Chains A and B, each alone.
Chain A
Amino acid sequence: MLEGFNFRVILEYMPLYLQCFSATLWLSALSLLGAIVVGTIACAMRLSASRLSARIAGVYIESIRSTPLLAQLYFFYFGLPSLGIMLPEWVTGIIALTLNSGAYYAEIIRAGIQAIAYGQIEAGIASGLNYFQRMRFIILPQALGMTIRPMLGQAIVLVKDSSLLSLISIMELTRAGQLLTSDRFMPAEGFLTTAAFYLVIYYMLKGFSGGSEKRLIFREAH
């Protein structure tokens, strides 16, 4: 299958790939930041005493988790213009990715918070620790230890999901493979190179996920 594998074409397209690689990186990074913010807010709403805001957050989280990202992406891509809102493709893409991952981050953060027994917080209060000390020494180390792996896992999912943005013609890694396929009809060179770049990101994030366990603050305490 690969006897005619043309490395020269890959080299020729390398500037395009690197440009697209950085596009994937910053699109994912922006969406990741947004998703953590949205996730934190949605989680706070879901756990709040107000039944209305808990309900709204619940509907948001459930409807995102029960529908595919591609349908959500098209929903915004075709839906916003029909509301008269014209946005560049990449903004639409980041909105869709942010809202999608935000729902998953809300669930991850909720699991982390609910896993801490309330008695620990009470014990902290009884020992005379103030709010920041309780956060710093009791709650955060445990919550981070519990959630760092699923959070990094979701970050990996987000980077991979950003490949769907190529379907609304945003220039990123998968789009580079599509271009090489349509320009030169070299799908093997195009998509295997794309896959290799994604693997670089995957192994970096995975390595960080493994390394984080050795750091004291991320370690689960019982």
Chain B
Amino acid sequence: MWGFYFNELIRSLPFFLKGLWMTVAVSGLSLIAGTIIGFVWGIMRSSRNKILRSIIGAWVDLIRGTPFLVQVFIIFFILPSAGIELEAFPAAVIALTNMGACFICEIVAGGIMAVPSGQREAATASGLASFQQLRYIVLPQALRTILPPLVGQYVLIVKDSSVVSAIGVVDVTRVGWLTVQRIPEGLMVFGLVGLLYFAICYPLINLSNLLERRMTVVATKL
């Protein structure tokens, strides 16, 4: 029986690859959009404008304090009652982008705040405008602190994208769920699902670790 199911599973491999593509699409889009929005929010969060800072801080807290699954349900089920009809895919990308942006915002703000204030003062004294300070002085230095946790955050985005299977996005997890109804070998089916996620996440985790080692070595040399 086991061999029969194994062959069945091999035969439905294209279905799994399709799901993998969906996972890559959802998390890839959210990762790009989330990084851009996260950097903008992070720069705003470390700015001197108090109102801006506390608005973003409150939003980040709300998102960090609630489970991603609940956020997905809120966007998918509540926005339509406000007249915004959303398919599962855009709802998933919006939810994942927002969550990613909130976490990246904290990483970026932390990185910027870790740059010694003397650097900014020196830049002001040299007559750089505030955008130039950010572009040439603060961000290049902050990037060293930002990059390793940023890649770590990408791993979380890929993993959290599995949650959007709950609203019917046919990603790898959903494919596994559908397949297990037909091939009742849970260990085998979700072993394969896990393997596919592993193939994406494990290299990313190692990249994050590598970046961390590289960046700290440079920092201690200075």
Using a CB–CB distance below 8 Å, which chain A residues touch chain B?
Answer: 1, 62-63, 65-72, 74-83, 156, 160-164, 166-167, 174, 177-178, 181, 187-188, 191-192, 194-195, 198-199, 202-203, 206
Contacts and interface: CB of A to CB of B under 8 A. Distances in A.
18 contacts: A62-B202, A69-B159, A72-B190, A75-B190, A75-B191, A76-B186, A79-B186, A80-B186, A83-B187, A160-B68, A162-B67, A163-B70, A164-B163, A177-B70, A191-B77, A198-B67, A198-B70, A202-B64
A198 B73 contact: no
Contacts of B191: 75, 79
B162 interface: yes
B217 to A, nearest CB: 17
A67 B213 CA distance: 23
B201 interface: yes
A104 to B, nearest CB: 11
Given A78-B186, A187-B73, A188-B78, A67 B68 contact: no
B186 A68 contact: no
Interface of B: 61-62, 64-71, 73-74, 77-79, 81-82, 155, 158-163, 165-166, 172-173, 176-177, 180, 184-187, 189-191, 193-194, 197-198, 201-202, 205
B198 A67 contact: yes
Given A71-B190, A199-B65, A203-B65, A177 B73 contact: yes
B176 A74 contact: yes
B187 A202 contact: no
Give the interface centre of A80, A167, A191, A206 by most chain B CB atoms within 10 Å: A191
Given A66-B201, A177-B70, A191-B70, A71 B78 contact: no
B51 to A, nearest CB: 22
A163 to B, nearest CB: 4
A210 to B, nearest CB: 13
A74 B177 contact: yes
Nearest to B201: A66
Contact of A198 (B66, B165, B166, B185): B66
Given A79-B187, A81-B186, A82-B184, A66 B70 contact: no
Closest 8 CB pairs of A and B: A78-B186, A202-B65, A187-B77, A79-B186, A163-B67, A1-B82, A79-B187, A68-B162
A71 B197 contact: yes
Contacts of B160: 68
A178 B177 CA distance: 19
Nearest to B2: A82
A206 B67 CA distance: 15
B159 A63 contact: no
Contacts of B185: 79, 82
Given A65-B155, A187-B78, A203-B65, 8 more contacts: A62-B202, A68-B158, A75-B194, A167-B166, A191-B73, A195-B70, A198-B67, A199-B66
Given A66-B197, A68-B159, A199-B62, A74 B67 contact: no
B180 to A, nearest CB: 5
Contacts of B172: 71
B198 A174 contact: no
B64 A164 contact: no
A174 B67 contact: yes
Contacts of B77: 181, 187-188, 191
